[in-house]
Structures are given as structure tokens and as C-alpha cells.
Structure 1
């Protein structure tokens, strides 16, 4: 056979072989991908415990694959066609799922007996009201598990969202716990939406909240610190941050939090739809004893009793139907919420006559509702929060600031219902609230509704759980052990809750009232 013919035959065979290899390789690859998609698209049962507490393997794999797929939708809002997109950062989720180490995935860390008995462990607890020793031993940018309802993973939010300023008041906070709050925000917040994080130091006495904190913050993006040279308290410190803020939306956080997956878009979308809507995230628990990140529950409405203690009411049946949709909430817990900056200042910000902390959540909630706004909770926005065992920071120079704060709020916003507060807190009737003329003037200017309207239209079922006029008590006051300064205390539990011992209210700075 001629050489030219042999070469031609070899060339033809080679080309056919290459075509066959490409064909079978492509077919095999498509088959594998389709099988993987079949596995990934398998629905998670609504009440499957794994789906609430831990992303299963299929969901984790899906998050890695979805980076290749653009999901979007179009909706009509006020006659405008707006685009919605998937805001999840799947690369970040994959990185966090791969992390190993102490406290990763929001897993609690148990100290050894030797550590628990050490002087350092006990000292850090006394200074902070939580086990800061544990905080010192877990990463500043640790991962937390995604404990949102599984349906939150499929939610789309408006593609065009405004910038946010996050304001964090700081007073003698544990440094690593504060920094972990900042790192969680930087790691889990879309960069295009985060305008800034503003730390406002309320004249802290701890040395590491001065030079060391400043040095650390200098190396962080979009984070700055403002130092106050005189103690102002949480409320006025927040106002300093709000005046500094450049973002369109203000978000107020405490200094011991960790945000969860995709927390921001569901928190601020309702504000875009109606600028007079303020939004609270679901508040999860970072356990004070071991820093485990766990769910508090799957939703409740904020309220109060007539002793002005914060309470929670069950969701109404229609509110419980959707695990992902925002629902109306009478009263915020106070520490964590988002509000349009323009609306915040239209409402006059916080009452500057409120000292330290306490009562501000009622003032802000009442005037949001009574002055034409709306307050909602966003179930798909979750933020973990440390509830201290005790408050290690005093407000001693301000005296009984809690009673004074509550008196101001009641006198300005609660109309005739203030009498129920005074009747329940005998000493409050004689408390001087200070000058409230500016607050009353603001209420008149904004043409705010009555508190009766609030009770009938917003907190309509509160009296069923916390009646304004209780049955006459057999006795009131305190039952005290004089040797220990402990009193019998119901701890504001329900009708059948077990009571125990607690520090006597009348012995604590800033506290007063009946114990039982």
C-alpha cells in the first residue's frame, strides 16, 4: 500500500477515535451531573430535625454547585417591576462548612475542671457576666451553623438594596467577644451593602479597649471607632453613632453578637418596600457558659407586662403559616433592629432624657406604631446574642435610672394606661421623669395615635396574658433572707413556673419595685 494512503488511513482512524472519546466523555459527565442534581434536589422534610439544626450533606453540596446557577425573579411593587436575586455567598458558606476547630459550627466548648477552677477563668467571668475564658480560646472569625428554616435557603430578595451603617455601642466589653461580633459582620455581609461598622466606645475603663482595640480596628475594612470621654449610657451612645452614620439604613447591634448566614437582605428588604417599616432579626442564643450557638425558638411577638418587664406572646395562627415571611410585632427586644435613617430622625431618634439603658425599646416601639410606622420580625434574618448571667457594668452615678426611664416613656406615650404601670410599681408614681416637653411636642407634631389605639390594634391580645388590673394580691413586697440579701423571686415566669431565689431588687442600683 502506498505510503500516502497509509498515512491518510491513520489520520482518519485518529480523528474518529478522538470524536468517540469526546462523545463518551461528555455523555458520562452529563449523566453524573444529572444524578448529582437528582440527589441535590431531593426535598428536605419540613419537620426534619436535621434540617433545622444542621445542614445535611446534600444541602452542603448543593450550596457549592449553585454558584454556577443564577436564580432571579421579577415582582410588581407599587406599579414597578423589580428584580429579585439570590444573595447567598456560596463560596463563603463552603469555606465555613470546611472549618475545623474549637467552637467552629457554633459548637459549645466545655472547659476542663482545671480551667474552670483557675483564677483567670473566675476573674474573666466576674468582669463580663459570661465565660470570656471560652471566648479567648475560639477563633475571632469562627463559623456558625445555618439554623434558619430550610425554606429561607430558597428565598430571593430585591437586587437593589440600600447601604447600611451598623452601630455598636461599647462599654467595657470583652475584647475578643467584641471583635468576633465585628468579624462575623464583615464575613457574612454583602460588601456592596455594608457602608460601615461604627463602634462607639462609651468611656470604657478597660485598657485593651483603647490602644489595642484602635490598633486592631485600623487594620479592618469599613470599620471605625469613636471614643467618648464621658459615660453617656447605651441610649445616648447609639445616638452618637446614628449622627455619624453615612448609610441609608441604621442597624443597631449589641457588642456581643454573631450574625448568621445571609442575615442582611431579609432584614432590610421590608424597609425598601415601606421606609416607615422597622425590622428586627430573630435573636438566637450564644450560650454564656460555653458559646454554643442555638435557636431561641421559631418566633414570638414582643410585649410587656405592667411592671414594664419585656415579655413574649405566641404568634397568631396566620403569622405562623409561613416560616419565612416577616410578621408584625408590637414591641422589639431593643438590642438588635434596623430602621431607615430618615424615618429614625423623623421620629426624633431616641429620647435623650433616657439614661444608660432600659425603656428605650418601649419608647421606640410605641412611637414607631403610634406615629404611622410598622414594626416586624424577619424570620430569615438571624443574629446570635449573649445573654449575660449578670450585668457587670453599673450605672451608679445615675441612681434609679430604670424607674425614671419607664416613667418618661409612660408619661409621654401611654396616656391613661400609664396608671396601670404606676399602680403596679408603687414607687414610680413619685419618680420625677425630668423635662418631657420636647417629647410631648414631637408627639403632637407627628399627629401620633393614642395608646388606646395601640392596645386595640397592635397589642390587642396582650391583656389576655398580662391583664392591666390583676386580682388583688394577698400581699406585696419582698420575702428576704437578711443574712444573704436574697429574696424569693418568681423571675417573671408564667403561672405554673417554679420560683427560686434572686438578689433583692431594692438592693440593686437602678432597680426597684415589688419582688413578689
Structure 2
């Protein structure tokens, strides 16, 4: 085994002898002369490696027992395959190791280019759950690939800066240019999910530029769906794309429409390119209190509160967040229909507070129903959103349609969409 350890800087303080307590035939440390970022540093390491298979891992990872053979086996079956391990969680506080939450799922993306996970559809489920399964996109940078095939694909796009977007670029490319990608349940690698980035990104570089570069190279007309949600991307410069487009032409790669139809055909079910009309949106005003729900631009764990409605003269400061969307996923998110944040109303019991939590799109604790009696019903707990106007608290309670503290008025309602959602529930 040849192991290449890549450093992105060449500071003197880093130049010290390293001792490794485990047997390795050769460990080569390569230092760049200046900061290159993750993407170009990986390219440098790959250019020096001599093994038949390249394996890319982050430095903040720990491999589990027997992690490598399942990856190599899949590549041996088809050398044009990229394979990814299951990524488990290493706690950043105490380094405890935990299996990733939930069942094995396919890698996906929404049209703002956020990475997502979706269930494996019945058509792709195997009798043995330990068998590798196809995945449209990888989670990040943990994968193995035949070295020659990696370079046949052009490696990473060297025009991508620092990090970000490279997982989509390599994923789209391998599928569209004659290969495939699999996640391998029997290969487990732990990853530390840090609470903050321990380095500074140089000014003038951005994730947005990388994502636009990937979209313009690989996504064809589907890039427009990204720009509709991220209009600020339209005016970004991607740099010169001629080499990447020539590579795509040389490899006779299929178009992105084929990718969406043949590989990522289940993604639109969860993340449709054209966002369906919402059922209701705008401020949510309580009938009894004549106050509005306010999430204060909070994140996960933030409890919703009542506050004076901005439209009634409350100070129009950034601290207020009183626009919400009840959409086709039957969850409620802060923001206007085309620009919602990635947090959802969430409740865990019939007496709990109503909080914001990262949207997962799987209903459960984030599933809501807006009923004709103006109540916001929570099917999982069989309870309704209630409030205490004096204390401005919002919480779950047993449903009482006669109680005005449980009656809520959305600023805008599309009755056609709302009735369709409610009739679907009644029929089921």
C-alpha cells in the first residue's frame, strides 16, 4: 500500500518528523509550495500515487475494520465504478463513534445544490441489504476509484477553488461519461463533523462560483432551475470552461436530461425542478392574540414565539422573521415560497414547544395539516398548535377547534392546493 498524506500549506512549524504506530509499506508526505485548497491538493496527490486504485479520505476520518476490501471488490467487478463507504459520525467533542442515522439512503441534491439523502426506491432494493447500491451523487470526498479511470475522466476540474461542488462534478461526470457510482454498506468510515471551519477561505473565492462552474459544464438546461432559486449566481464568472467542455465532448458524455431520467429519476419526487404551488404562505396570525408567529431567524432548536405583526407596525428590523410557507411537502418553513430556509416547524409530543429543526422532507414530526377550522394539526402527536398570548409562547396541545388560541390565519391561501392536500389525507 502506498499512502500519500497531503498538506495544503508549507509552514515551517509543520516540518517535523512524523511517527506512525502502524505498519505501512510507504507513506509519502507531499507539501505544496502555497495554499492550493482541497481540490487541487487532491489532484496533486493523485498525480504522484502509483497504485492501481486511488482512495480519497479527509484528514478528519477514521477507517473501520475491513473497510477497504468491499470497495476494491466493486471496482474489480467494473473498473469504471466509483465506490463510496458508508460515512459514520465521530463526535467532535469526545470522538465517540456512531453509525450514521437511519437506513442506507441514496445521495441526492436539491435545486439550490444542497446535498440530500433519499430512500432507496423498491426498484433498486436488494435482497441482501449489505449489497452495494447505485447512488446519483456522493456525499463529499470519501471514495475509491481506479486510477486510470480517474484520469480518463480528467480527474477533478482544476478550475474549482478550495472546496465545494467537486462532489457533484465527479458524480455527474462518472455517470454521464460511461461509468457508475455505488455506495457500499460493508465499508464504514467515521468522519468528524466539525461545528466550525478551522481555517479562513481566501477572499475572492466562493462556493457559489464552484457550483455555477459545475452547473454550466454538466447540467445543460437544468442549470436554469438552480438560477431560479439562486438568482445571484447568474452574474458570477465561472472562469474558462473550454477545457471542461472539450473533455465532455471527447468522452462522448450523455446529457443531463439522460442523467435525470436514467440515474436520478427518483430525485424530482422529493426535490422537483419546478416547485409546486404552496397551499398557504405569508404571516401566520393567531385569532385570539392578534399576534404573529415569529422565528427570529433562528436555527435548529429555536422555539417559535408570538410577536407584534410586522404589518401592524412592529419595527421592521432584521430580527423579525414572520413570513412562512406551507408547501407541497406538508411542512412549514420560514421564508417566501421560492426562498424558504432549510428549517421546518417541528414538534415531538402533544405538549412540547414548537421549534425549528433541519428539514428532512420525511414528514414525521414535521408533518402538518391546515384545517378548515383554522387549526394547524400535527398528525404524529394528534394535537394542534396552541399559544399563550400573555407569555407569547407557542406549544402543542390537545385539539379544541372552539379555542381561538388554536386558530391561525395565513396571509395568503391557495384553496385549490389546500383542498387537494386535505382530500388526499382524507382518502388515505
If the length of structure 1 is used for normalisation, what is the TM-score? 0.55
3-state DSSP of counterpart to 2:246: helix
Please list the CA deviations of residues 458-478 of structure 1 after superposition, one character each: whole Å capped at 9, or x if unmatched.
Answer: 110111101112146757xx9
Say if 2:98 is the partner of 1:241: no
Larger Rg: 1 or 2? 1
Whole-angstrom CA distance in 2 between matches of 1:198 and 1:270: 23
5+ long unaligned stretches in structure 2: 283-294, 299-315, 322-333, 348-354, 359-428
Cα RMSD for the two superposed structures? 2.9
How many residue pairs were aligned? 302
Structure with the higher helix share, 1 or 2: 1
Please list, as runs of the form range in 1=range in 2, the aligned pairs for 1:63-78 lying within 5 A after superposition. Answer: none
Judged with a 3 Å threshold, the aligned counterparts in structure 2 of structure 1 residues 244 and 495 are, in CA distance, closer, same or farther, namely farther
Structure 1 unmatched ranges of 5 or more? 1-194, 502-516
Are 1:199 and 2:2 an aligned pair?
Answer: no
How far has the Cα of 1:499 moved from its partner?
Answer: 2.5
Q: 1:206 to 1:456 in 2, by over 3 A?
A: farther
Structure with more strand by fraction: 2
In structure 1, distance between residues paired with 2:181 and 2:88 = 19
1:172-207 deviations in Å (ceiling 9; x for gaps) = xxxxxxxxxxxxxxxxxxxxxxx2111111016593
Give the alignment's TM-score, normalised by structure 2: 0.65
Rounded to whole Å, the distance in 2 between the matches of 1:365 and 1:386 is 23
Report if aligned partners of 2:296, 2:319 keep a CA contact under 8 Å in 1.
no
1:377 to 172, 183, 189: 183
Q: Does 1:322 align with 2:128?
A: yes
Contact preservation (8 Å) 2:346, 2:356: no
1:263-313 deviations in Å (ceiling 9; x for gaps) = 111011111111101100011111112211111133111011001110001
Counterpart-to-counterpart distance in 2, 1:232 and 1:265:
31
Q: 1:437 aligns with which of 225, 242, 245?
A: 242
Q: In 1, distance between residues paired with 2:132 and 2:34? A: 39
SS at match of 1:468: coil
Is 1:262 the counterpart of 2:66? The answer is: yes
* Distance (Å, rounded) in 2 between the aligned partners of 1:294 and 1:206: 36
Whether contact under 8 Å (2:75, 2:82) holds in the other structure is yes
**Aligned counterparts of 1:431 and 1:310: Cα–Cα separation in 2:** 21
Instruction: Tell me how far apart the structure 1 counterparts of residues 197 and 8 of structure 2 sit (CA, whole Å).
Output: 16
Supply the distance in 2 between the matched residues of 1:485 and 1:348 (Cα, whole angstroms): 47
Q: Could you tell me how far apart the structure 2 residues matched to 1:244 and 1:269 are?
A: 24
- Are 1:405 and 2:405 matched, yes or no? no
Instruction: Quote the Cα distance in structure 2 between the aligned partners of 1:203 and 1:483.
Output: 42
Give the whole-Å Cα distance in 2 for the aligned partners of 1:338 and 1:326. 14
8 Å CA contact retained: 1:491, 1:499: no
- Alpha-carbon shift at residue 394 of structure 1 (Å): 1.7
